[in-house]
């Protein structure tokens, strides 16, 4: 019995909190000239809120999540509602109210459909699309508009920064100042008392003070007659709602508010995802954001079908239910049951509630949003972002929310482009003398490439190339093409780290191509992904013969190396493609490789070395071409090195006494010499200094290879 009483009392507390919030947010929409109609539709709004809380509770990934209408979306809807009321000033009250109610229902259904579809598409990551300074500025502006709306609710006039002076007239000031002072006191208490019970308790105390003053003064009847309380609702809500929505609504006026309503839809999705993140951090519960986005959509569709306000999960009410120990669907059912009961059977009780009570709650929420946003801007934003934040706030409260969001997005894009243009798209600069292909060549050939490769420049680009990177790309080209000593013979642009590019960057590359062609510089674009290649083709940057399209950077470098070796002169006294065998023959004239080494052949496609085999020999490639391959778990292969005649294969594992770390495959028919670790040469029992010279030459070849590989490692 005790547990049931505790559950009922906790549920009543959560339900009362949901009722207070739901009524307050509904009252936000019906401010100013529409305030006189608020009391007639509070009951229907509570019933719709009950539907929303119940459907959401059934579908959320964590059943304790409570969902009801929100202040941010209500504030935007209040802007649209005020504009509708001003536009239809000459129309009947039935048409004005019907249009506003229809607009609310349409917006809620649209927000629900959008949220559900995004959840189905698993696109919950869209929460990261809004720049933080813009979102923070919007929240601060929303807080300021809530405070102004609270003032307007009490004096029953729409209040903006342009007509705020009328609120400070003596009669008006006396009306709203006590309630806003109460808002300020609640806010100050909230800074010291971090409890979800604070607002309900303060609301109760505010009501107690109000009724004490009324009892000691004019009496409740006189106060009701003066309009200080909500009027008693009358008529059948469901019938009147249907008539208003579909009989008297002005749909052209609703269509005129499409931009604002679209903003409400977007904020419903973003706000819902942000609040879900808050719920996850506050309660420690694991959440499925995409499933919860679908739940937000379904709950809004259900609420919109009965004319309810847009809503999404609430951190405060959800946290309250979790803190007081409500399990499973306890908190959502408590919120839905209380809202439904008050909406169906207790709406008459609302007629004794003062308008100022809702102004107090709205004022508190506005102060909380405004000052917390200002604090976050001071602590987290840079000077530039603070200017953007201030601009969004100023424009939102003076011109309009939509205009402020649009200008904020544009400014954020400009700032992003400026910042991104300062990010270097150049990962590294090499010449062919220091960065060769992954092809093993005889030492003499590598020396020739080291001399002639200085005139071939390699640029490794990185990131996403967009319009902000154009200046940097042109500067890279100018540094080479306008160099005092003249342009290089060739330029290689490596796109293997480039994720994509836009048309501006593609046009900048086409311009570089034209300049290279005019100066006789060979331009090679290598490693481009299909979408990068497609964009380059779209602007005509791949149509010139000056651009050599290669599948991979290594293929491009290999082709350039072969061309250089064919056109450069060999050093005097050095034979073509001097190999380790040639060096041994010079040092030991009687050297006969067939006497010391075993000749073997390997047909194209056969394995010379198998991965993970024990290393018992090394090979010298006499003719043909081979390649070293690494394979991952899925069977995909990666070529890590190529071998040309005169190079050594398999020496590192043999000297380490380890197993092979890759396999070597013959690309073409190959002839090799096999040197077994049991041979006289390897065992240092060969004639004279032959074995020592053999090991020294092998060590020199390994050192050169490792030095080259350091370039590959550092660039990765």
User: Could you report the per-residue pLDDT of 254-288, keeping only the tens digit for each?
Assistant: 888 888 888 888 888 888 887 787 677 667 788 88
d(C-alpha 18, C-alpha 11), whole Å: 10
3-state secondary structure of 672: strand
The mean pLDDT of 542-567, rounded to a whole number, is: 72
State percent of the chain over pLDDT 90. 9
pLDDT in tens, 53-62: 999 999 999 9
Is there a contact between 561 and 436 (Cβ–Cβ < 8 Å)? yes
pLDDT of residue 294: 94
- pLDDT of 242 reads 46
pLDDT band with cut points at 50, 70 and 90 for residue 6: low
Q: What predicted TM-score, i.e. pTM, was given to this entire model? A: 0.57
Q: Under 8 Å CB-to-CB from 23, ≥6 apart: which residues?
A: 42, 45, 46, 350, 358
Q: What per-residue confidence (pLDDT) applies to 542? A: 54
Residue 28, pLDDT > 60, answer: yes
On the question of pLDDT at 301 being above 90, the answer is: yes
pLDDT higher than threshold 90 for residue 300? yes
Query: Nearest-5° angle of CA 424, CA 428, CA 434?
Result: 165
The Cα 40–Cα 29 span in angstroms is: 13
Q: What is the mean pLDDT of residues 296-325?
A: 83
Count Cβ atoms below 10 Å from residue 383 Cβ, excluding itself. 6
Q: Does the pLDDT at position 637 exceed 80?
A: no
Q: What is the pLDDT of the chain when averaged over all its residues?
A: 80
Q: Which of 183, 231, 202 is nearest to 354 (CA)?
A: 231
For residue 38, what pLDDT is reported? 62
* HEC readout, 302-366: HHHHCCCCCEEECHHHHHHHHHCCCCCCHHHHHHHHHHHHHHHHCHHHHHHCEHHHHHHHHHHHH
User: Cα torsion for 59, 15, 315, 57, to the nearest 10°?
Assistant: 0
Residue 470 has pLDDT above 90, yes or no: no
Other Cβ atoms closer than 10 A to 528: 24
Rounded CA-CA distance 90/80 in Å is: 17
Instruction: Give the three-state DSSP class for 602.
Output: strand
Among residues 653, 652, 665, 659, the alpha carbon closest in space to that of 609 is found at 665
Burial 602-617 (b: 16+ CB within 10 A, else e): beeeeebbeeeeebeb
- For position 445, what pLDDT does the model report? 81
- Taking the C-alpha atoms of residue 643 and residue 646, their distance in angstroms, rounded to an integer, is 8
Domains and CATH numbers, the chain: 2-414 (no CATH), 426-567 (3.30.750.24), 580-715 (2.60.120.10)
Contact (Cβ atoms closer than 8 angstroms) between residue 51 and residue 336: yes
DSSP state of 51: H
Q: How confident is the model at residue 198 (pLDDT cuts 50, 70, 90)?
A: confident
| Continuous segment of H or E residues that includes residue 641 | strand 637-643
Q: What is the DSSP letter of 81?
A: H
What length does the chain have?
716
* 400-420 per-residue burial string, b: 16 or more CB within 10 A, e: under 16: bbbebbebbeebbeebeeeeb
Q: Tell me the pLDDT tens digit for each residue of 118-136.
A: 899 888 776 556 677 877 7
Give whole-number Cα distances, 165 to 156, 158, 179, 629, in Å.
Answer: 15, 12, 18, 79
| pLDDT score at 297 | 94
624: left (phi over 0), alpha (psi -120 to 50) or beta: left
pLDDT over threshold 60, residue 103 = yes
Compute the distance between CA of residue 698 and CA of residue 619 in angstroms, rounded to an integer: 11
Under 8 Å CB-to-CB from 15, ≥6 apart: which residues?
A: 334, 335, 337, 338, 339
Q: What distance in Å separates the CA atoms of residue 537 and residue 510, rounded to the nearest whole number?
A: 10
For residue 596, which of 679, 670, 685 has the smallest C-alpha distance?
A: 679
* Centroid of chain to Cα 700: 50
Q: Which residues is 630 bridged to in the sheet?
A: 638
The backbone torsions φ and ψ at residue 493, rounded to the nearest 5 degrees and listed phi first, read -105, 115
**pLDDT tops 80 at residue 485:** yes
Cβ atoms 495, 527 nearer than 8 A: yes
| Ranges 66-75, 402-411, 645-654: which has the least confidence | 402-411
Backbone angles phi, psi at 634, to 5 degrees: -90, 5
Instruction: Please state, in angstroms and rounded to a whole number, the distance separating the CA atoms of residues 143 and 355.
Output: 19
Helix (H, G, I), strand (E, B) or coil at 597: coil
**Phi then psi dihedrals of residue 500, to 5 deg:** 175, 175
Please, are residues 462 and 426 in contact by the beta-carbon 8 Å criterion?
Answer: yes
pLDDT digits (tens, 9 = 90+) for 688-698: 577 888 888 88
Whether residue 302 has pLDDT greater than 90? yes
């Amino acid at each position: 019995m005790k547990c049931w009483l505790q559950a009922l009392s906790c549920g009543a507390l959560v339900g009362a909190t949901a009722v207070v919030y739901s009524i307050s947010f509904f009252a936000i929409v019906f401010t100013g000239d529409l305030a006189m109609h608020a009391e007639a539709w509070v009951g229907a709004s509570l019933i719709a809120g009950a539907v929303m809380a119940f459907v959401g509770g059934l579908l959320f990934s964590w059943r304790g999540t409570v969902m009801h209408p929100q202040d941010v979306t209500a504030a935007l809807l209040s802007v649209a509602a005020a504009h509708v009321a001003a536009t239809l000033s000459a129309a009947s009250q039935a048409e004005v109210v019907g249009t506003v109610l229809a607009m609310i229902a349409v917006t809620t259904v649209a927000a629900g459909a959008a949220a559900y579809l995004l959840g189905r598409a698993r696109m919950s990551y869209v929460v990261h699309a809004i720049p933080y300074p813009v979102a923070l500025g919007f929240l601060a502006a929303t807080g300021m508009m809530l405070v102004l709306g609270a003032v307007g609710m009490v004096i029953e006039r729409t209040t903006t920064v342009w007509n705020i002076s009328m609120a400070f007239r003596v009669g008006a000031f006396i009306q709203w100042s006590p309630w806003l002072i109460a808002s300020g006191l609640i806010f100050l208490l909230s800074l010291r008392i971090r409890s979800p019970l604070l607002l309900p308790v303060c609301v109760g105390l505010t009501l107690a003070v109000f009724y004490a003053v009324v009892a000691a003064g004019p009496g409740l009847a006189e106060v009701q007659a003066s309009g200080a309380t909500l009027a008693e609702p009358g008529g059948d809500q469901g019938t009147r709602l249907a008539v208003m929505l579909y009989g008297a609504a002005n749909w052209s006026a609703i269509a005129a508010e499409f931009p604002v309503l679209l903003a409400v839809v977007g904020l419903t999705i973003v706000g819902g995802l942000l609040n879900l993140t808050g719920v996850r951090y506050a309660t420690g519960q694991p959440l499925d954001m995409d499933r919860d986005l679908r739940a937000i959509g379904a709950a809004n569709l259900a609420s919109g079908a009965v004319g309810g306000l847009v809503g999404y999960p609430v951190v405060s009410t959800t946290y309250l239910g979790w803190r007081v120990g409500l399990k499973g669907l306890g908190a959502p059912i408590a919120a839905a049951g209380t809202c439904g009961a008050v909406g169906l059977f207790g709406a008459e009780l609302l007629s004794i509630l003062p308008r100022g009570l809702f102004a107090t709650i709205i004022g508190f929420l506005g102060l909380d949003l405004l000052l917390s946003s200002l604090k976050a801007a001071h602590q987290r934003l840079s000077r530039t972002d603070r200017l953007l934040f201030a601009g969004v706030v100023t424009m939102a409260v003076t011109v309009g929310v939509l205009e402020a969001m649009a200008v904020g997005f544009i400014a954020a894009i400009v700032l992003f482009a400026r910042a991104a243009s300062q990010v270097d798209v150049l990962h590294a600069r090499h010449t062919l003398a220091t960065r060769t292909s992954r092809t093993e060549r005889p030492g003499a050939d590598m020396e020739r490439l080291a001399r002639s490769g200085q005139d071939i420049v390699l640029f490794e680009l990185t990131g996403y190339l967009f319009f902000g990177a154009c200046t940097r790309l042109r500067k890279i080209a100018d540094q080479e093409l306008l160099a005092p000593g003249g342009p290089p013979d060739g330029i290689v642009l490596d796109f293997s780290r480039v994720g994509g590019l836009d048309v501006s960057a593609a046009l900048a590359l086409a311009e570089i191509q034209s300049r290279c062609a005019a100066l006789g510089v060979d331009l090679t674009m290598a490693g481009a992904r299909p979408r990068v290649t497609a964009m380059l083709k779209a602007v005509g940057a791949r149509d010139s013969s000056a651009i050599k399209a290669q599948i991979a950077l290594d293929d491009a470098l290999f082709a350039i190396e072969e061309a250089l070796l064919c056109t450069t002169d060999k050093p005097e006294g050095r034979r073509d493609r001097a190999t380790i065998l040639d060096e041994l023959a010079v040092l030991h004239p009687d050297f006969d490789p067939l006497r010391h080494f075993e000749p073997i052949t390997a047909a194209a496609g056969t394995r010379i070395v198998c991965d993970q085999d024990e290393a018992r020999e090394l090979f010298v490639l006499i003719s043909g071409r081979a390649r070293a391959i690494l394979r991952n778990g899925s069977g995909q292969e990666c070529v890590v090195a190529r071998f040309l005649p005169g190079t050594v294969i398999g020496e590192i594992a043999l000297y380490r006494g380890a197993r092979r770390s890759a396999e070597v495959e013959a690309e073409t028919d190959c002839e090799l010499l096999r040197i077994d670790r049991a041979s006289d040469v390897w065992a240092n029992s060969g004639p004279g200094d032959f074995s020592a010279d053999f090991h020294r030459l092998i060590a020199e070849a390994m050192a050169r290879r490792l030095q080259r590989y350091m370039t590959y490692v550092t660039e990765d």
